[in-house]
Amino acid sequence: MMFDAFKPFTASEFQVKFAMDPWERAGAAALRRRVFCGEQGLFGSDDRDAIDTHAIPIVALSLWGVAADAVVGTVRIHEPEPGIWWGSRLAVAEDYRNVGTLGSALIRLAVSSAHARGCRRFFAYVQSQNALLFRRLRWRTLEIVDLHGRPHHHMEADLAYYPPFAAPETGFLAFPKRAA
């Protein structure tokens, strides 16, 4: 039997959770550098900023059986003033963008965990090519601005769509979308 090409391994499930362990935090930082510095060229050699000192990193972990294998998605959240939360630096590893659920799951945990912590409004600056995904997830554009030389949508989440989730340290499982 001959095979012309082998498909790379893609996990059949993912855990979306707060990054609690050092390897998860390091994996999130490495993924952000790969996406925002390497692929997109938005920053020099590192995208870290002052927000990282107090932001909560969230990760999507590929699971090999029951063990976490790698960080394949990330986002960070922070509360600059009481009740006002922001999400930023949403990234999914290139090989996992076709899974079809990781970005949505990261957004869901970001907003729902902030909601459980007293969030009254949740905002993000979203690159224009990702605005449709956010609109499908019940976000609305407040204005379009230029950040890092690219158009971004200043968006707000509809909190009614994101019930409070009080267990973000363990998070939840996300499964790839299946073709119909």
Q: In the chain, where are the structural domains located?
A: 14-174
When the pLDDT of each residue in the chain is averaged and rounded to a whole number, the result is 92
Q: Work out whether strand 67-81 and strand 56-64 pair parallel, antiparallel, or are unpaired.
A: antiparallel
In this prediction, what percent of the chain has a pLDDT beyond 70?
A: 92
In this prediction, what percent of the chain has a pLDDT beyond 90?
A: 83
pTM: 0.91
pLDDT-derived band at 69, boundaries 50, 70, 90: confident
- CATH code of the region 14-174: 3.40.630.30
Q: Which of the given ranges, 5-14, 57-66, 101-110, has the highest pLDDT on average?
A: 101-110
What contacts 154, CB < 8 A, 6 or more positions away? Answer: 123, 124, 125, 141, 142, 143, 144, 145
- Number of Cα atoms under 13 Å in the Cβ half of residue 109: 28
Mean pLDDT of 68-93: 96
Distance CA 58, CA 153 (A): 22
Q: pLDDT (tens digit, 9 = 90+) per residue, 10-58? A: 567 899 999 999 999 999 999 999 999 999 999 999 999 999 999 999 9
Distance CA 163, CA 116 (A): 8
Q: Work out whether strand 14-18 and strand 121-127 pair parallel, antiparallel, or are unpaired.
A: unpaired
Per-residue pLDDT, 35: 97
pLDDT-derived band at 1, boundaries 50, 70, 90: very low
- Of 27, 16, 31, the closest CA to residue 173 belongs to 16
